[in-house]
Chains A and B, each alone.
Chain A
Amino acid sequence: MVGVPRPCGRPIGGVLLNQLARRLLASLPAYRVIALAFTVLAVAGAVAILVQAELLARALADGVLSRSGAEALAGTLALLAGVFAVRAGLSWAQQALAQRAAASIKASLRRRLLRRTQELGPGWLTGQHSGALTTTLGRGLDALEPYFTGYFPQLFVAAVVPLAVLVRLAVADLASAVIVLVTLPLIPIFGILVGLSTKRATERQWRSLERLGGHFLDLVAGLPTLRAFGRARAQAVAVRRTADEHRVATMGTLRIAFLSALVLELVATLSVALVAVPVGLRTLDGGMDLETALLVLLLAPEAYLPLRALGSQFHASTEGLAVASRAFAVLDEPDAHGAADSGRPERAVVARAHEAGAPCVVRFEGVSVRYPRRDEPALDDLSLTVAPGERVALVGPSGAGKSTLLNVLLGLVVADAGRVTLTKADGAELDLDTVDVQELRRQLAWVPQRPHLFARTVAENIRLGRPDAGDDDVVRAARLAHADEFVTDLPRGYDTPLGERGAGLSAGQRQRIALARAFLRDAPLLLLDEPTAGLDAGSEAAVVDATSRLMAGRTVLVVAHRPAMVADADRVVRLEHGRIVGGSDRTALGVG
């Protein structure tokens, strides 16, 4: 899905402010205030430009013709210095303001995008290259900066300054004004044409960088595997190829940008030459005084400059726009419930009605799950009722749908058909479809089949589900998980920072940290997906013992392959091809 941004609407107002830009600007909290401020700054800037040219022309003309000396022009010169100071101040104010706008829009997009990835959930994320997403979220959104610090404020300048200059020119010398007036529109017209052709190229450029990021992160994670099979060096070729693709794509967009800059520059400079030469000739035959001639010479470039700058700012910001369209594509991604980028208020209402801690009946009724691009359903019209306090062991061959079943209950996978309900002791029935997932998850502790350990300390990893738990509780949970022993052996005990994905621990040790995490959570409903995977028989026995003590009075769904874990269950349910095929007593497992 990466790299296939959905079409984001055709430009309405040309490239200057297309639909995408509008949507982008709509994310700016104080858009009106900022726009107003930029307008004021642009107007002030235009006035300063006019005054500066006026004063400079007067002083210089005097210098050429009357030579009355600096003394006589003291007032003009002092004023000139003042105008320079004002222009410096305006440029500072514009940049400061633009920077603020850029920072706030980046932060807000980043926040929304990140939140959206979490709403779309692990099911969606497994289909994405996380390196590509990280690249978009970081370096990508940073590319919006030139848009807001360059292009956006320049829009206001470009709208105001050329007009002001043109009016002043018309007053000074109509002929020059006409030349400028005729040539000036060439710039935006050409700019729009170029802008349209840039869009595709920039998107390609951005996609290649995203691919580089996605590819790279996957490779880094898999480097040990690549090395094990002697393929690491071979992949270097692929990395270089992707990096080179990005170079070529970037050069492609730059070539367009530079060519357009060349044309704009030529139009502008030749127009200035077009203005300057006749003005010079007219000065020669006395048709124009020198002060006016100098004023025209100083002003004419100022009419073109803002539009030319707008052109180059546009090119600098196209990458940001490509990222924005990618970001909006993620925000618009429909989630499993079919809603895009919206909180579900109706769920919050239900949540309040649902108080924590009550043991419930968990009922699956005709639940089916079919993953995209798979023929066979992972769960097929499955019905299962788990009584409060009951301990159910799920067994069955690999791929039978055991983990999927737990994931449905966790709200990580949404069923295509059927209902999952929780019935409380007082008979109130909650449908998983309407209950607030957060609230539901508060009732659950989960040991996933492949737990994710964060690059934090051991204690922080254990505290994941109860950040406020005291040290004693953490140690107690670790003891239950048979982890305390090796943790205290670590260089800094519970404060030892782990590497990414728990690097620095053995596989079984990581598993035990995940167990401790679930034990600390202390929830009424336990979902254990092969909790003793990777443990030796001795550790397993200890963990099973601890778990069965913990399971007392709680509802438990445990996926188990090992007999020790199954032995403690009240009921064994056997899954095959997404259906329950039997079970009910332990012998169905063939455990001796």
Chain B
Amino acid sequence: MANRSARTRYGPIRRMLGMLRAHLGRLVLAVSASVVTELAALALMGTAAWLLARAAQQPPLAALSLAIVGVRAFATARGVFRYGERLAGHDAALRALATLRGRVYDALVPLAPSGLPAYRSADLLSRMVSDVEAVQDLVVRVLVPVSTAVVVAGVAVGFTALVLPPAAVVLAIGLALAGVVVPLLMVSAARRTARRLAPARAELAERHTDLLHGSADLAAFGATEQALTDAERAGERLARLERGTALTTALGGAGSMLVQGATTVAVTVLALDAGSLAGVMVPVLALVALISFEPVLPLVPAVQRLLESRASMRRVLAVLDARPPVAEPASPLPAPGRDVTVELRSVSVRYPEASRDAVDGVDLRLTPGRRVAVVGTSGSGKSTLLACLMRFIEPSAGTVLLNGHDVRDYDGDDVRAVITGVTQDAHLFHTTIRENLRLARPDASDDDLLGALELARLRDWVSSLPAGLDTEVGEGGGQVSGGQRQRLALARALLADPPVVLLDEPTEGLDPQTADELVADLLATTRGRSTVLVTHRLFGLDGVDEVVVLHAGRVVQRGTHADLVAVAGPYQDLWWASHPAPASK
């Protein structure tokens, strides 16, 4: 993924520039204002020097009046245009930045869930928060300063050439040294570190989230110190890189200043020795030379930023260009209605790098209202099967049919509008119970919410809370108990009320009595809906139409509960294992 955008060295920059196209007007404004600002500064010092030198020759006052007006005008122009430049430049940059942030999120959506683990969330966070700022830096610290420097240097050299051509040559050389050679030297010195900065920041962020998300486990296992040390080390690595680049930048800055001094002295020498030159022009040339470096000096940090921006941008582009694990059709079929028949035809799924299929040639047919339970040992592919039904994973073989059409011809969101439910790692967002539930149905009324909570056997608990539905559940649902978390996820799925309900171990973490009652309730309320229930508890499975037993991805047994319990086989083994027969004890 990263390679694709990394192929061309200037690709990232070009694409960043492309993102700025929408703000071209503001950019042009910023650059022109910046050029005017620096030219005004140049003219201010030049005119002032001329004024003094001319005055020393004691001409009539009228000869000076224009210059006096000029000094005042240039002084004002400088301030006003700088203000305009900054406002326009930052506005364009920040707009581009906000847009880019939105696009990063958009690009992540189709990656979830199976494409996301390729990134760490902290890494994504640092792309979203820090790396995207590359586009801002490109405008404010690179684009505007560089174009200004080029114009101002050109004007300064042109002016000098009119007055004293040899001095212009010296000035041109000096400006080229400070504006091109020194930055290029820095590029070669800092390229490697600049490229490593963004990943080092991401690594530090990862160490931080390890500590923030895993703090309980780390503390209980006495591993906090070690994790803190790891984080510190990652911090030191980053600091070393930063120090390296900062010192190079400082060195480059000092080098440019040196060139500035040498050029000014050299121009002065040439001016002093040029017999043909009017005396008044000596200070003018010297000061123009000195001041023309002002916009050129920032090029050193600008180049440094450009290098870092390129590395950061490449990381952002890697996300924008990431190929979703499940492709969406170019022209999807119209969304299916509420009568849904789903069929799996010898579907296999193999995760990348895995040596065997997680789901291996499974057939399944879900006509409207049919209820199927999927059981099997841990790791036998039950959740993978559900992911396949939700079109979160692309089967490596076989087809999934939705109302007779290949599911690949539907828009993924349309598929999930009819086939969804509780996944095994359903996430509770750091917000209120209400907001978490309404995710499934934004227009749900409080009564709807309470109804779903009632079904999930949470209503009494929620009513007992001082803030009721407005209770915050904390980060990752950390402020409610395990079973409450599980049932909130269940209530949410019930609220969505899709024609095909998927339930992945909905009663895990509940006491047996509640679990059994809950399963019975669930099966009763979802009557008429197609249901796929994944469970480790075999109680209540006499209420489903078919039980499918998976082992290592394959269907090893299927039939009704009564049939399966009666014959020797994996299902009977599971049954006895969860019902220790008095005799066996």
Residue in A229, A444, A486, A591 whose beta carbon sits within 8 Å of that of B379 in the complex:
A486
Q: Is the CB of A564 within 8 A of B64?
A: no
Q: Which residue of B lies closest to A115 (CB)?
A: B228
A-B contact pairs, 21 of them (CB 8 A): A64-B282, A81-B262, A95-B253, A107-B236, A111-B228, A121-B215, A121-B219, A138-B204, A220-B116, A239-B102, A255-B87, A262-B83, A277-B71, A280-B67, A412-B219, A465-B221, A500-B121, A505-B379, A534-B505, A536-B375, A591-B512
Chain B CB within 8 A of A11 CB = no
Q: Is the CB of B246 within 8 A of A455?
A: no
Residue in B120, B219, B255 whose beta carbon sits within 8 Å of that of A441 in the complex:
B219
- B-chain residues with CB within 8 Å of residue A272 when the two chains form the complex: 44, 48, 75
Q: Is the CB of A85 within 8 A of B258?
A: yes
Per-residue 0/1 for A258-274: is the Cβ within 8 Å of any B Cβ (1 yes, 0 no)? 11011001100110110
Chain A CB within 8 A of B186 CB = no
Q: Is the CB of B378 within 8 A of A224?
A: no
Contacting residues of chain A (83-99) with chain B, CB-CB under 8 angstroms: 83-85, 87-89, 91-92, 95-96, 99
- A-chain residues with CB within 8 Å of residue B82 when the two chains form the complex: 261-262, 265
Q: Is the CB of B377 within 8 A of A538?
A: yes
- A-chain residues with CB within 8 Å of residue B108 when the two chains form the complex: 220, 223
Q: Is the CB of B126 within 8 A of A139?
A: yes
Q: Is the CB of A110 within 8 A of B235?
A: yes
Q: Is the CB of B580 within 8 A of A396?
A: no
- A21-29, A129-137, A172-180, A340-348: which one contacts chain B? A129-137
Per-residue 0/1 for B445-466: is the Cβ within 8 Å of any A Cβ (1 yes, 0 no)? 0000000000000000100111
> Given A122-B215, A220-B108, list of 14 further CB < 8 A pairs?
A56-B264, A60-B53, A60-B268, A77-B265, A125-B478, A217-B121, A231-B442, A236-B106, A243-B98, A269-B44, A276-B52, A441-B222, A508-B378, A562-B512
Q: Is the CB of A534 within 8 A of B243?
A: no
Q: Is the CB of B208 within 8 A of A452?
A: no
Contacting residues of chain B (41-91) with chain A, CB-CB under 8 angstroms: 44, 48-49, 51-53, 55-59, 61, 64, 67-68, 71-72, 75-76, 78-80, 82-83, 86-87, 90-91
Chain A CB within 8 A of B209 CB = yes
- B-chain residues with CB within 8 Å of residue A244 when the two chains form the complex: 98
Q: Is the CB of A117 within 8 A of B578?
A: no
Q: Is the CB of A223 within 8 A of B116?
A: yes
Chain B CB within 8 A of A438 CB = yes
- Min Cβ gap A128→B in Å is 6
Residue in A125, A221, A258, A451 whose beta carbon sits within 8 Å of that of B217 in the complex:
A451
Q: Is the CB of A225 within 8 A of B268?
A: no
Chain A CB within 8 A of B25 CB = no
- Min Cβ gap A447→B in Å is 10
Report the Cα distance A65→B486, complex, angstroms: 91
- A-chain residues with CB within 8 Å of residue B94 when the two chains form the complex: 247, 250-251
- B7-15, B146-154, B338-346, B423-431: which one contacts chain A? B423-431
Chain B CB within 8 A of A442 CB = yes
- B401-409, B413-421, B556-564: which one contacts chain A? B413-421
- Min Cβ gap A366→B in Å is 22
Per-residue 0/1 for B252-282: is the Cβ within 8 Å of any A Cβ (1 yes, 0 no)? 0111011011101100111111010001101
Q: Is the CB of A412 within 8 A of B79?
A: no
Contacting residues of chain A (168-222) with chain B, CB-CB under 8 angstroms: 209, 212-214, 216-222
Q: Is chain B's interface secondary structure helix, strand, loop, or mixed overall? A: helix
Q: Is the CB of A220 within 8 A of B90?
A: no
Report the Cα distance A88→B264, complex, angstroms: 14
Chain B CB within 8 A of A380 CB = no
Residue in A60, A149, A219, A536 whose beta carbon sits within 8 Å of that of B536 in the complex:
A536
Q: Which residue of A lies closest to B440 (CB)?
A: A229
Number of interface residues of B (CB under 8 A): 180
Report the Cα distance A539→B574, complex, angstroms: 10
- A-chain residues with CB within 8 Å of residue B514 when the two chains form the complex: 397-398
Query: Total A-B pairs in contact (CB under 8 Å)?
Result: 528
- Min Cβ gap B102→A in Å is 4
Most chain A CB within 10 A, of B260, B424, B585, is at B424
Per-residue 0/1 for B208-239: is the Cβ within 8 Å of any A Cβ (1 yes, 0 no)? 11111111111111111010100110011001
Q: Which residue of B lies closest to A216 (CB)?
A: B128
Q: Is the CB of A126 within 8 A of B475?
A: yes
Contacting residues of chain A (66-94) with chain B, CB-CB under 8 angstroms: 67, 69-70, 73, 77, 80-81, 83-85, 87-89, 91-92
Q: Is the CB of B439 within 8 A of A226?
A: yes
Q: Is the CB of A225 within 8 A of B509?
A: no
Report the Cα distance A538→B551, complex, angstroms: 12
Q: Which residue of B lies closest to A589 (CB)?
A: B512
- In order of increasing CB-CB distance, the 6 nearest A-B pairs are A84-B261, A398-B483, A508-B378, A126-B478, A63-B282, A499-B117
- B-chain residues with CB within 8 Å of residue A133 when the two chains form the complex: 208, 212
Chain A CB within 8 A of B506 CB = no
Report the Cα distance A130→B105, complex, angstroms: 18
Chain B CB within 8 A of A326 CB = no
Report the Cα distance A64→B285, complex, angstroms: 12
Report the Cα distance A501→B213, complex, angstroms: 9
- A230-B416, A500-B120 are contacts. A280–B64 as well, Cβ < 8 Å? yes
Chain A CB within 8 A of B471 CB = yes
- A67-B279, A135-B129, A251-B91 are contacts. A111–B379 as well, Cβ < 8 Å? no
- B-chain residues with CB within 8 Å of residue A281 when the two chains form the complex: 55, 61, 64
- Min Cβ gap B419→A in Å is 10
Q: Which residue of A lies closest to B236 (CB)?
A: A107
Most chain B CB within 10 A, of A127, A138, A517, is at A138
Q: Is the CB of B217 within 8 A of A464?
A: yes
Report the Cα distance A562→B514, complex, angstroms: 12
Contacting residues of chain A (105-154) with chain B, CB-CB under 8 angstroms: 106-107, 110-111, 114-115, 117-118, 121-122, 125-131, 133-135, 137-139, 142, 149
- Min Cβ gap A27→B in Å is 15
Chain B CB within 8 A of A567 CB = yes
Per-residue 0/1 for A41-77: is the Cβ within 8 Å of any B Cβ (1 yes, 0 no)? 0000000000000001001111111010110010001
- Min Cβ gap B538→A in Å is 8
- Min Cβ gap A364→B in Å is 18
- A92-B251, A118-B215 are contacts. A236–B476 as well, Cβ < 8 Å? no
- A64-B53, A251-B94, A283-B52 are contacts. A77–B269 as well, Cβ < 8 Å? yes
Report the Cα distance A107→B466, complex, angstroms: 42
- Min Cβ gap A326→B in Å is 15
Report the Cα distance A218→B472, complex, angstroms: 14
Chain A CB within 8 A of B367 CB = no
Q: Is the CB of B211 within 8 A of A561?
A: no
- B-chain residues with CB within 8 Å of residue A592 when the two chains form the complex: 579
Per-residue 0/1 for B504-547: is the Cβ within 8 Å of any A Cβ (1 yes, 0 no)? 01001111111100000000000000000000101000000000
Contacting residues of chain A (357-383) with chain B, CB-CB under 8 angstroms: 371, 373-376
Report the Cα distance A533→B390, complex, angstroms: 24
- B-chain residues with CB within 8 Å of residue A533 when the two chains form the complex: 508-509
Q: Is the CB of B481 within 8 A of A403?
A: yes
Q: Which residue of B lies closest to A233 (CB)?
A: B109
Chain A CB within 8 A of B499 CB = no
Q: Is the CB of B247 within 8 A of A541?
A: no
Chain B CB within 8 A of A352 CB = no
- B-chain residues with CB within 8 Å of residue A449 when the two chains form the complex: 482, 509
Residue in A59, A276, A376 whose beta carbon sits within 8 Å of that of B71 in the complex:
A276
Chain A CB within 8 A of B18 CB = no
Residue in A269, A375, A451 whose beta carbon sits within 8 Å of that of B76 in the complex:
A269
Residue in A88, A100, A247, A455 whose beta carbon sits within 8 Å of that of B97 in the complex:
A247
Q: Is the CB of A126 within 8 A of B261?
A: no
Q: Is the CB of A56 within 8 A of B286?
A: yes
Q: Is the CB of A297 within 8 A of B48?
A: yes
- Min Cβ gap B4→A in Å is 22
- A107-B239, A251-B91, A561-B511 are contacts. A96–B250 as well, Cβ < 8 Å? yes
Report the Cα distance A59→B390, complex, angstroms: 82
Q: Is the CB of A134 within 8 A of B286?
A: no
Q: Is the CB of A233 within 8 A of B413?
A: yes
Q: Is the CB of A117 within 8 A of B211?
A: yes
